[in-house]
Amino acid sequence: MALIFTNRLSSYIPKRVIIIILCISANIICYAGIVYMAKEFNWNHTIQGYVSSSFYLGYLTSQIMGGILADKFGGRRVLGIAAAIWTLFTLLTPISARINIYCLILCRICLGIGEGINLPCLQSLVSKWFPPEERSRAVSALYVSNFIGMVITMPISNLLGSSQFGWESIFWVFATIGSIWSMIWYFYGKSDPKDYPGISKEELDWILKNKSIVCSEDNFGNYQSGSSEYITITNNDHKVPKNENDMLLPKNQISSRPLYVHKIPWKLLFSRREVWAILLCQFFGSCCFFILLNWLPIFYYEYFHVDIHLIGFYTALPYLSYVIMGFIAGYICDYAIHQLKFKVVTVRKSFNIIATLGLLIPLLLTTYLAKTSLEGLLLITIGFTLFSFQVPSVYASQLDIGPKHVGVICGLGNTCGLLPAFFGVALTGWILEVTSNDWSTIWCICSLFKIIGTAFYVSWAGGEVIIE
């Protein structure tokens, strides 16, 4: 028995690798914080909260529509339009900040609209490009790429913000990167593997045959129970080509067109507790995530009095640990399901529990036990490392229960997550004002919400296809 790529020395690059690299790079877009702007314009916590939360107001409005459009028309055009929007308003951010706070808030809303389309669209692309054996790691790669962006942009933002070019150069640089990415995506991005010229027959069979067998009635139970049955190409089924040219499918031979969703089963979606497990987990859990995303640099700056020029590096280390362990967690999840034969739902729930407890315990210990900034950095880094186990859990569940409607379910889940996050980010600033910078109150509130979300997920999550 031979797996898909029998010739390891071949120069052929799997097209799904190209797609996932482009999708990952799409997430590495302008995670510049507002610390430098806040310092220059002398904003208090309340104004900082308004500016940060305005982004999520726009981000909230485009989630569901982005998922619907991606499921109906494919991800290539939808993601391309989104990239054009976020690139434009990244470029306009310094200009709007110089005009007045209201222009800046409006610009941030528009930026959020563009980036809100991103993740539902990327999830929809994963459902079409990756077989079940690789989906956990593909989803993990997408979601940890958010933190790759932070690991890269935080130190770069510090260098640019401290340079002679000023904090405006942060946005100019990342707007330029967004423009370059858009041009590359135009030529190399595809919505469906059947549309990709030059894709090998082996790779296309690997993607499509796995999909059809896993989703067929005869083999439906295999994936439900976490079977390790792999779809392999043997020498009897397909002769191994002698050279790369024998493997490639010319564009004119790819005649079948992808079948996209034309009608969304809204009633069925909202009637299943497996869907609600995802929505409620993200509703309660995302508040903690977005507060950390926006306020962690300010926490270092005010609580531990870290030098502003070192904040980027302090913030990058926990994110780097999240990225590394996130990739590993995706592989562990796929291995547990398809090699060790654990049930899909058991693996997803277990990873969610690890992520919740792994983050909350170090986070609470930071404000109660840590005496120095290095101790705080160590605890938060440990917390983020374990927190990465959430990625192949709740964020991969859409692919388990509704592979044809991944974009819509992802959009619904992200919308539910953004509702409390929008108010939570702004409310954090107000709480800090009235409690005289009592960060322990913030982290206790985050912990409570995260625990509630995990309880819903563990109670209701499913690992079977319930929506065709």
Express each pLDDT in 231-264 by its tens digit: 333 334 444 344 433 344 444 444 344 445 567 8
Q: Cβ neighbours of residue 329 under 8 Å, at least 6 residues apart?
A: 140, 351, 388, 389, 391, 392
Residue 231 main-chain phi, psi, to 5 deg:
-95, 110
15-194+265-460 has CATH 1.20.1250.20 classification: yes
The CA-based dihedral angle spanning residues 147, 339, 219, 122, taken in that order and rounded to the nearest 10 degrees: 10
pLDDT value at residue 70: 85
- Per-residue model confidence as pLDDT tens digits over 87-126: 888 888 888 878 888 888 888 888 888 888 888 888 888 8
Residues pairing with 200 in the sheet = 248
Average pLDDT of the chain to the nearest whole number: 77
The pLDDT of residue 38? 62
Q: What is the mean pLDDT of residues 419-425?
A: 73
Ranked by mean pLDDT, which of 24-28, 110-114, 161-165, 238-242 comes out on top? 110-114
Q: Which residue has the higher pLDDT, 211 or 394?
A: 394
Share of the chain above pLDDT 90, in %: 10
The Cα angle at residue 224 between residues 221 and 228, in degrees rounded to 5? 85
Question: Which pLDDT value is given to residue 280?
Answer: 92
| Residue 292 to residue 33: CA distance in whole angstroms | 12
Q: How far apart are CA 211 and CA 205, in angstroms?
A: 10
For the cut 90, the answer to whether the pLDDT of residue 350 exceeds it is yes
Between CA 437 and CA 48 the distance in angstroms is 14
Better-predicted residue by pLDDT, 129 or 420:
129
Q: What are phi and psi of 248, to 5 degrees?
A: -80, 140
Percent of the chain with pLDDT over 70: 80
- Given a cut of 70, whether residue 138 has pLDDT beyond it is yes
Predicted confidence at residue 40, as pLDDT, reads 64
Is pLDDT at 467 greater than 80 in this prediction?
no
Give the residue with greater pLDDT, 377 vs 203: 377
- Token readout for 392 is 């192949």
Most confident of 217-226, 286-295, 303-312, 374-383: 374-383
How far is it, in rounded angstroms, from Cα 466 to Cα 269? Answer: 9
Amino acid at 177: I
